[in-house]
Amino acid sequence: MKNQVQLITYVDRLGGGGVQRLSVLLQGPLAGLFGGVHLLPFFYPIDGADAGFDPIDHTQVDPRLGDWADIQALAQHTEVMADVIVNHISADSPQFQDYSARGDASPYAGLFLTLDSVFPQGATEQQLLAVYRPRPGLPLHYATLKNGQKKILWTTFTPKQLDIDVHHPEGEAYLNSILQRFADSGIRMIRLDAAGYAIKKAGQSCFMMPETFAFIADFAAKARRLGIEVLVEIHSYYRRQIEIAARVDWVYDFALPPLALHALFFKTAAPLKRWIAERPHNALTVLDTHDGIGIIDIGADAQDRIGSPGLVPPAELDALVERVHANSGGQSRQATGAAASNLDLYQVNCSFFAALGGDERAYLLSRALQFFLPGVPQVYYVGLLAGGNDMALLAQSGVGRDINRHHYSVDEITAELQRPVVQQLLALIRLRNEHPAFAGQFSLADTADEVLQLRWQQGEEYAELRIDYRDQSHLLHYSTPEGVQQMSLA
């Protein structure tokens, strides 16, 4: 993975076209900005129950976006990351349709997890309550198959996303086919989506158990043999994230977005610096993604609230969420929690720019912080253009996370790229990509709680960022052949 900024985007929401049009953007107006691009699900279909995360055919590019030849052509000039959705497949998939028609006589009968297959001896109330849930209710869905059989299917997320037995021969063959298809198409990075839920075990949490780690390690080994690096997506208690990072190639730094907001809102860098001192360095740093702003990632352990406190106190975490709602003019409240069909318990749905109330300096300081931390930065396409909340799309779809999934036309992109805040962000991206110091040694200075000072050094080359969160005063300076240069943000 290149040590350069990556772009995260839906293929059809940045320029309104397919893979070829996105490729033109990356080689045209966005040329030289990104060392890689994470393409959010582009499989058939892209408009299912969960914006592509419930593909009917994970090995087929949605024809509206192009084909595998287009993906391969894109990969010739920009490293491509794609999602492998390991936990579930669509209820409309050929595999489930065969199972529904033939029931236990189908070769796919054992592929789909049911209450009985996870709890063959029956489930007690205590066992069911022990299952870790990202959403309210049990991970179970009552279904009548086409052949008349009645089943209680395991559904971690939605009834259209059916959990599979990843160790069943058909499960292994299915996942292996995705890896091979990706490798053949030039994809060299994958993100394991929902991997933390992939293994189920009676009487356990069914989330990031030793057996889950074993599955991830085995799957990652298969990917590496095909020349593919693996990113594991896990939202969890921050110490658990550190444990996970020690056992995988890459993880997300999901604690960073809420901590960046906390530093600005509470005018202190103390929790942020505590995290920087112990955070894993094999991390992809983000401020925004296609999902919401995580809260669980800096809060107390949901399973052990007393003995495992979070990075910030509960009262401050609650106040942070309320501040986001206030800064967005109440828009985020309409898209979060039980609102707008959103069932995620640990996220606030809002663009990061809107979460800061459109404060351009605060936004650029947050981006500078992101780029100065060890790891590989990823910038979400809405964040690249300092985008606000799309309330029209939210009203149209009724899906909370769509508030931060705007469809940009080519004309909109052209206009947004001219905004001063976006121009400064592009300058920051180029600095992060091109300055040799970012391939050197990182250090965190010992400063007052209100001040954050980060430095990269390689030989005589250096880059340093100092932020005083009391008033957002800052100093960003770096070496050049002509001497020391400074960059003022907004």
CATH 3.30.70.1710 fits 94-162, yes or no: no
Residue 244's pLDDT is what?
Answer: 85
Residue 234's pLDDT is what?
Answer: 86
SS3 (DSSP) at 271: helix
The answer to whether the beta carbons of residues 11 and 41 sit under 8 Å apart is no
The burial of 288, by beta-carbon neighbours within 10 Å (0-12 exposed, 13-18 middle, 19 or more buried), is given as: buried
pLDDT at 103 over 70: yes
Residue 303's pLDDT is what?
Answer: 63
Residue 304's pLDDT is what?
Answer: 61
CATH code given to domain 6-86+168-439: 3.20.20.80
The answer to whether the beta carbons of residues 250 and 232 sit under 8 Å apart is yes
The burial of 308, by beta-carbon neighbours within 10 Å (0-12 exposed, 13-18 middle, 19 or more buried), is given as: middle
SS3 (DSSP) at 321: helix
Mean pLDDT throughout 279-302?
92
Cα–Cα dist 348/325, whole Å? 9
Buried-exposed string 110-121: b where 16+ CB fall within 10 A, e elsewhere = bbbbbbebbbee
**Token digits for 250?**
């890459």
SS3 (DSSP) at 177: helix
Residue-wise pLDDT tens digits, 192-226 = 998 999 999 999 999 989 999 999 999 999 999 99
∠ Cα 144 145 150 (to 5°): 45
Q: What sign does the CA torsion over 52, 58, 61, 62 have?
A: negative
How many Cα neighbours within 13 Å face the side chain of 480? 9
Residue 408: strand pairing partners: 14
The answer to whether the beta carbons of residues 400 and 335 sit under 8 Å apart is yes
Residue 59's pLDDT is what?
Answer: 95
Cα–Cα dist 319/315, whole Å? 6
Residue-wise pLDDT tens digits, 427-463 = 999 999 999 999 999 999 999 999 999 999 999 999 9
Residue 237's pLDDT is what?
Answer: 86
Residue-wise pLDDT tens digits, 237-265 = 898 889 888 888 999 999 999 999 999 99
Residue-wise pLDDT tens digits, 381-405 = 999 999 999 999 999 998 899 999 9
SS3 (DSSP) at 180: helix
The answer to whether the beta carbons of residues 339 and 395 sit under 8 Å apart is no
pLDDT above 90: percentage of residues in the chain: 86
Residue-wise pLDDT tens digits, 48-85 = 877 888 899 999 999 999 999 999 999 999 999 999 99
Cα–Cα dist 168/482, whole Å? 62
User: pLDDT-based confidence at 483, cuts 50/70/90?
Assistant: very high
User: pLDDT-based confidence at 413, cuts 50/70/90?
Assistant: very high
Q: Tokens 């702003």 correspond to what residue?
A: 293
Residue-wise pLDDT tens digits, 352-366 = 999 999 999 999 999
Active site residues: 193, 233
Residue 344's pLDDT is what?
Answer: 47
Mean pLDDT throughout 368-387?
98
Residue 342's pLDDT is what?
Answer: 39
The answer to whether the beta carbons of residues 413 and 19 sit under 8 Å apart is no
pLDDT at 1 over 60: yes
pTM: 0.94
Residue 343's pLDDT is what?
Answer: 41
pLDDT above 70: percentage of residues in the chain: 97
Residue 340's pLDDT is what?
Answer: 41
Residue-wise pLDDT tens digits, 75-99 = 999 999 999 999 999 999 999 999 9
Residue-wise pLDDT tens digits, 295-349 = 889 988 866 655 688 999 989 999 999 999 999 999 999 998 765 443 445 789 9
Q: What sign does the CA torsion over 154, 156, 158, 160 have?
A: negative
For strand 161-163 and strand 189-193, is the pairing parallel, antiparallel, or unpaired? unpaired
Delimit the domains of the chain by residue range. 6-86+168-439, 94-162, 443-486
